[in-house]
């Protein structure tokens, strides 16, 4: 997988990644969340533990705590999204923040305004946190370089580079069902090459000491030298799924593919799609995950997606709690502080 692509800053475009250390304040507190890279196992565990305290809010009559009261969070989505944007919005609102959603299709960027000019104008509205999704790798890093010192940036997915909160909610889901990562075999199946989710998942799984991380897919959809990422590659799904504890299916990233990488979606399903027969090769209590949106009949059969071992909808639910945890840690608040107010 490639690092964020470089481009001309004069045009207000991404210009490569920030050093991982720049995600933190000089005091060592999390300021931005741009990538899993550079986080410590202790911080990831703290995020997951904090999310655990928020999960129970779903059963409460009043699903709010005042941890972000007085803060303004702006969702800045340059790519279409349903689950990610909605869960970020719900997370911010449940923390009592004021939330703004910018419709990029009608914004000034469509009229020719640069990303940097758009950022400066939005920042003039005294926003405290930007949640950014962009088709260009490095866009969230670029914005983080140029925001005011009091502003934080959360990467909701940038190009093929990273999707850190998706990886964190996936780790939260795995931990809830499986506990100790060191004993687990986890398989990520499908379009690894174009997936920002896969990149962040692999980093998070290795950070948490997962016993074995496997990637399964055709050679054309696996990065060159993929072993360097700390994974074991398989091109045969039956061999790759043998005895695994967690199966993470990925969507085919058609919008990021060059032509010729796949003969057809039908053939992909025949060779690498997850059906009940292939699921039976995994451990008897294996769980099935998918970051969504799932293409039924392309990467996963409906009987598996809706079956007893699927935790796909749980991932969506846990996404709210995990994003609440990240936001609360960034502003330096604690759940106990919120409960006391």
pLDDT of amino acid 105? 59
Question: What whole-number distance in Å separates Cα of residue 132 and Cα of residue 74?
Answer: 9
Considering the domain architecture, whether residues 22 and 39 belong to the same structural domain is answered as yes
pLDDT of amino acid 9? 35
pLDDT of amino acid 6? 36
SS3 66: coil
What DSSP state is assigned to residue 300? B
pLDDT of amino acid 15? 47
Is 3 inside a domain boundary? no
Considering the domain architecture, whether residues 109 and 218 belong to the same structural domain is answered as no
Question: What whole-number distance in Å separates Cα of residue 263 and Cα of residue 38?
Answer: 38
Is 222 inside a domain boundary? yes
Strand order in the sheet with 185-189: 232-234, 212-216, 185-189, 246-249, 287-289
Give the CATH number for residue 175: 3.40.50.1370
Check if the beta carbon of residue 55 is closer than 8 Å to that of residue 318.
yes
Is 224 inside a domain boundary? yes
The answer to whether 50 is a known catalytic residue is no
Question: What whole-number distance in Å separates Cα of residue 170 and Cα of residue 175?
Answer: 9
pLDDT of amino acid 62? 84
Instruction: Count the domains in the chain.
Output: 2
Considering the domain architecture, whether residues 283 and 157 belong to the same structural domain is answered as no
Considering the domain architecture, whether residues 69 and 111 belong to the same structural domain is answered as yes
Considering the domain architecture, whether residues 280 and 202 belong to the same structural domain is answered as yes
Q: Which residue's structure tokens are 């999390």? A: 30
The answer to whether 146 is a known catalytic residue is no
**Which residue range is the domain that position 89 belongs to?**
9-161+317-340
Is 1 inside a domain boundary? no
Considering the domain architecture, whether residues 144 and 29 belong to the same structural domain is answered as yes
Known binding positions for L-aspartate = 111, 196, 251
Which residue in 84, 87, 109, 210 is the catalytic one? 84
Among 250, 253, 213, 258, which Cα is nearest to 231's?
213
Considering the domain architecture, whether residues 34 and 96 belong to the same structural domain is answered as yes
Is 2 inside a domain boundary? no
The answer to whether 163 is a known catalytic residue is yes
Considering the domain architecture, whether residues 39 and 51 belong to the same structural domain is answered as yes
Whether omega before 293 lies within 30 degrees of 0, making that bond cis, reads: yes
Which residue in 94, 133, 194, 214 is the catalytic one? 133
Is 57 inside a domain boundary? yes
Considering the domain architecture, whether residues 247 and 119 belong to the same structural domain is answered as no
pLDDT of amino acid 19? 63
The answer to whether 94 is a known catalytic residue is no
pLDDT of amino acid 198? 96
Among 32, 56, 46, which Cα is nearest to 339's?
56
Considering the domain architecture, whether residues 170 and 261 belong to the same structural domain is answered as yes
Considering the domain architecture, whether residues 180 and 130 belong to the same structural domain is answered as no
Which residue in 32, 71, 163, 214 is the catalytic one? 163
The answer to whether 133 is a known catalytic residue is yes
Is 25 inside a domain boundary? yes
Which residue in 61, 106, 111, 225 is the catalytic one? 111
Considering the domain architecture, whether residues 235 and 323 belong to the same structural domain is answered as no
From first to last of the 341 residues of the chain, give the pLDDT tens digit.
Answer: 444 433 333 334 444 555 667 899 988 899 999 999 999 999 999 999 999 999 988 778 888 999 999 999 999 998 888 889 999 999 999 999 999 998 775 555 554 567 788 888 889 999 999 999 998 899 999 999 999 998 999 999 998 899 999 999 999 999 999 999 999 999 999 999 989 999 999 999 999 999 999 999 999 899 999 999 999 999 999 999 999 999 999 988 655 445 545 667 788 889 899 999 999 999 999 999 999 888 898 899 999 999 999 999 999 999 999 999 999 999 875 444 444 44
Pairing of strands 246-249, 287-289: parallel
Angle (nearest 5°) at CA 126 between 120 and 130: 70
Is 4 inside a domain boundary? no
Which residue in 13, 25, 72, 83 is the catalytic one? 83
Distances (CA, A) of 43 to 28, 198, 276: 11, 20, 37
pLDDT of amino acid 112? 53
Known binding positions = 83-84, 111, 133, 163, 166, 196, 251, 292-293
Known binding positions for carbamoyl phosphate = 83-84, 133, 163, 166, 292-293
């Amino acid at each position: 997988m490639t690092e964020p692509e470089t481009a001309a800053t004069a045009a207000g475009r991404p210009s490569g990644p920030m050093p991982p250390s720049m995600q933190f304040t000089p005091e060592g507190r999390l300021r931005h969340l741009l990538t899993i890279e550079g986080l410590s196992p202790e911080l990831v565990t703290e995020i997951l533990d904090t999310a655990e305290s928020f999960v129970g809010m779903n059963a409460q009559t009043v699903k709010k705590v005042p941890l972000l009261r007085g803060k303004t969070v702006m969702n800045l989505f340059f790519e279409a999204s349903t689950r990610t944007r909605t869960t970020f919005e719900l997370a911010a609102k449940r923390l009592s923040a004021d939330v703004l959603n910018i419709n990029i299709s009608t914004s000034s960027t469509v009229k020719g305004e640069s990303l940097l000019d758009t950022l400066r104008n939005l920042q003039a509205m005294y926003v405290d946190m930007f949640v950014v999704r962009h088709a260009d790798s490095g866009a969230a890093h670029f914005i983080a370089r140029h925001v005011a010192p009091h502003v934080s940036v959360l990467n909701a997915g940038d190009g093929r580079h990273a999707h850190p909160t998706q990886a964190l909610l996936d780790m939260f889901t795995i931990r809830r069902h499986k506990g100790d990562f060191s004993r687990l075999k986890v398989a990520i199946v499908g379009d690894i090459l174009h997936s920002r989710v896969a990149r962040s998942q692999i980093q998070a799984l290795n950070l948490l000491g997962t016993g074995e991380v496997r990637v399964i897919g055709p050679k054309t959809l696996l990065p060159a030298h993929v072993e360097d990422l700390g994974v074991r590659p398989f091109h045969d799904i039956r061999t790759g799924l043998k005895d695994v504890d967690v199966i993470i299916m990925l969507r085919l990233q058609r919008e990021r593919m060059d032509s010729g990488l796949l003969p057809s979606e039908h053939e992909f399903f025949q060779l690498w799609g997850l059906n009940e027969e292939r699921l039976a090769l995994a451990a008897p209590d294996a769980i099935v995950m998918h970051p969504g949106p799932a293409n039924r009949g392309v990467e996963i059969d409906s009987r598996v997606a809706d079956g007893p071992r699927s935790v796909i909808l749980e991932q969506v639910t846990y996404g709210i709690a995990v994003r609440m945890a990240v936001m609360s840690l960034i502003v330096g608040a604690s759940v106990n502080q919120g409960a006391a107010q």
